[in-house]
Every structure is written in C-alpha cells, then in structure tokens.
Structure 1
Amino acid sequence: MLAAGALAAVLAVVAVLLWPTAGSADAVPSQQSADAGFARDMAVHHQQAVELSFIVRDRTDDEDVRRLAYDVINTQANQRGMMLGWLEVWDLPKSSQEGPMSWMEHDMIGMEGMEGMEYKPHDGSLMPGMATNAQMDQLGEAKGKAAEILYLQLLTAHHKGGIGMSEAAAEMAKTEQVRRLAQGMVEGQQAEVGLMADMLKERGATA
C-alpha cells in the first residue's frame, strides 16, 4: 500500500508541474465542472480497485491473477495521482459535499455499467461498480481459486461502472487532458473486462 501511495504522490507532483498555467478563466475548471467532479469521483473509485488488487495479491499464488492485480495497482494508482494533482493545480478541494456523480447530466444516465444519477450508495459502495464492505470482507477471507473468482467478478463490475463514468467524462469534460485520460480509461478497462471474462471461463465461472 505504501509503495502505491508514494507513487501516487509523485505523480500528483508531476501533474502539478505539467498542467499548463491558466491563461484565462476557462483554463481552470470550476468546482461544479465535469472535469473536477470526475477527477474527485474517479480518484475514489480507483482507490478501491487498488485495494481489491492488494487483497487478492496475498490470497492466491496464481501468476495470471497476480499479474493482473499488479497491473491494476500500478495503472490506477498512477491515474489517481494525476487526477489528485490536477485538483491541486486547479486549487479545488479533493472532496465534495454534493455527493458522488453530481457532476453528471441526466442525459448520461443509462450508459454501460451505470445506474447513473439514481445510484444509491450503500454499505461502502459509493458509485456504480464499487464493491460493498461485505464483499471486501468476503474477498479478504477467501483463498486460492475462490479468491481469484471473486476478485475477477468484483473487478469486472468495478470496471464496468468506471467505464460508464469515464464515457461521460470523455463527452462532458472541457479540458483536453481530462477527456484524453477518460477515453484512455474506457479503452484500457474494456480490454481488461474481456481478459477477465476469459480468466473466469478458465475457472468455470462467469462475471
């Protein structure tokens, strides 16, 4: 956990250094913008994927699952650091009292893997695809093949929820950097959903 946290901190600094200096009011997203809302929400969403991956890493010796978990830890910790860095550059808070997904427009409801603005947070699942506290505990108690299957199922749902949010941000964000990152998330996580479907099939399970 410490390694991922340190890496995210470094990337946050990089994001601060690389983001172009605001030359106009339009250069910095507002508190209510899709850019800021997506950065805040997806940082939280990503953090849970990293936690799931750290858990399964210690619950199985399967090299394929451990490799996937390692990739998720690195990719999503990196992206999380970038998003938190952007919020730092914009001088915006990293949390909001308005609740998750308040930045999304109603015409985005119903996108892949989402229940949209009607999603009701419950038992630690704050946004579409996020595992509940009970599911996190279940994964922490599972071992071997059972842990592999549960991880792949939880991460598949997690990715599908993230894909929907990222698709919305790719359409709504005003800054090119946010749109590009969101589209990259869509493409990367769709590829991993396909990979996990094959891995689940190999284990006699489905998503």
Structure 2
Amino acid sequence: MQHAVTDGAEPQPKAHRRRVWWPAALAAAVALGLGVPALVASGSSASGTTASAPANGSPEAGFARDMAAHHQQAIDMSFIVRDRTQNDEVRRLAFDIINTQANQRGMMMGWLDQWGLPQSSGDQPMAWMNMGHAYEAHDGSLMPGMATNADLTKLRGLSGHDAEVFYLQLMVRHHTGGVEMAQGYVDISANPVEKRLAQTMVNGQRSEIDLITQMLHDRGAQPLS
C-alpha cells in the first residue's frame, strides 16, 4: 500500500543534512515538462521528424518502473520508523528519504506517462539489466537490496533504539542495491536525462550509506552482512 507523502508528515526541519528543493508534485511536473528522453528530444531523422519514445521493454522503461518500486519500499520503511521512534536524527533521515525518493519516483512515473507506457508490466523485475544472471526474488524482495516481507513485519514490531538500528541496517542494504541498479543503468543508458537522474542516485545514496553506517556505529551496531 502506498502512502501519500504528505499524510501525517511533520514540517521539514530547518536544519538537516540535505536540502530538498522540489516537492513531489513539482518533480512530477518537471518530469512531464522537461524530462524528455534523449531518444525523443534530440533524436531526429533526416526528414526532421523526432525519433520514437522508448519501447515498453527498453532499459529506459524497465529502470523507471523497477527503481520506482524500489524507491516506494524505502518510502514505506521510512514512514514505519518515523512512527516507531522519537529520535530526531533518525526521523530527519527518514523524512529526507521520503522527500527525495518520492520526488525521484514522481519523475520516473512522469516519464512513463509521457512515453505513453504503463507504470507496470508483466516483465520480470531487473530484466532490463544485464546482470549475467536473473535476480532471485523471494518473500517480497523483488530487486537487489529490497527488504523481505518478514523484514517489514519485524520493523513494524520494534520501537525505540531497536527500531532505529534495524531501519538503518535495512536502509544500508536497500541503498546498496539501489546503487547497483542505478549504476547498471548508467553503464548502458542512451538517455542523457534519465542517466543524469540515475547518476544522482548513485552519488546521493553512496553518501547516505556512509552517513547511515556512522549512525549505526554510534548505536553500537553494524550493517547487515
């Protein structure tokens, strides 16, 4: 079940690690207005007609769908921990992740809509990415780094310090998988607009992994093996 990003969310703190510039609605509007894929925006034939939008089974469409689903789980986990702890540091991190990943998710959904493609398909997750092997989905973990249904159930049952630690551990693993996916798309992408977003994800989530690892260390814990 997806949450509206504004439901019950607290006003954004004035001082935190990363400033979020766009609300989700604006990000989606930007995606619709400016996020024209290179295959459409710059591609043109000798007759002057623009090239076609990405195909339904293309890496562009596959990455947008899969990363949107990946982001949604991070948003869901952040809403869970927000309600399971009163620690300001963890709640600020959760609020940042909610805002950042909802913004990016809105952009990817906007591109799919612009391309005239469905937001979901019957394709196997990660089919667009040449991993050398198929990702083995299990217990709701559809893509690299995603939490299982059992993980989410456990997180909902924790509170305070225990909830903070498990959330941070899940987010390190989640971000690590997200970086793998985003870098995989950067390596094969022919779409400069979506490629820039993917590179932003790689850079931002690597930085956040370092931050979260330090937060775990401060709590006497380590990332999951």
TM-score of the aligned structures, taking structure 2 as reference length = 0.82
In 2, distance between residues paired with 1:166 and 1:2?
A: 24
Letter in 1 for 2:211: L
Q: How does 1:36-185 map to 2 (within 5 A)?
A: 36-106=61-131, 109=132, 117-185=133-201
Counterpart of 2:189 in structure 1: which amino acid? A
Q: Percent identity?
A: 51
**Aligned residue-pair number:** 197
Structure 1 stretches of at least 4 aligned residues deviating more than 2 Å after TM superposition: 1-5, 7-14, 19-27
1:27-51 per-position Cα deviation (integer Å, ceiling 9, x unaligned):
5211121111100000000000000
Which amino acid in 2 is paired with 1:187?
Answer: N
Q: Distance in 1 between matches of 2:6 and 2:74?
A: 12
Equivalent position of 1:201 in the other structure: 217
The one-letter code of the counterpart of 2:216 is L
Deviation at 1:72, TM superposition (A): 0.2
Unaligned runs of 5+ in 2: 8-22, 45-49
Q: Which residue of 1 aligns with 2:35?
A: 19
Unaligned segments of structure 1, at least 5 residues: 110-116
Structure ranking higher in helix proportion: 1
Whether the aligned pair in 2 keeps the contact of 1:4 and 1:73 (CA below 8 Å) is: no
| RMSD of aligned residue pairs (Cα, Å) | 1.7
Contact 2:32 2:111 in 1 (8 A): yes
Q: Is the 8 A contact 1:163 1:189 kept in 2?
A: yes
1:69 and 1:126 map into 2 onto residues whose CA distance is 22
Alpha-carbon deviation of 1:140?
0.6
Report if aligned partners of 1:128, 1:162 keep a CA contact under 8 Å in 2: yes
**CA positional deviation for 1:4:** 4.7
CA–CA separation in structure 2 for the residues paired with 1:4 and 1:104: 33
Question: Do 2:126 and 2:135's aligned partners in 1 also have CA atoms closer than 8 Å?
Answer: no
Q: Does 1:187 align with 2:203?
A: yes
Separation in 2, partners of 1:61, 1:135 = 21
TM-score (norm 1): 0.89
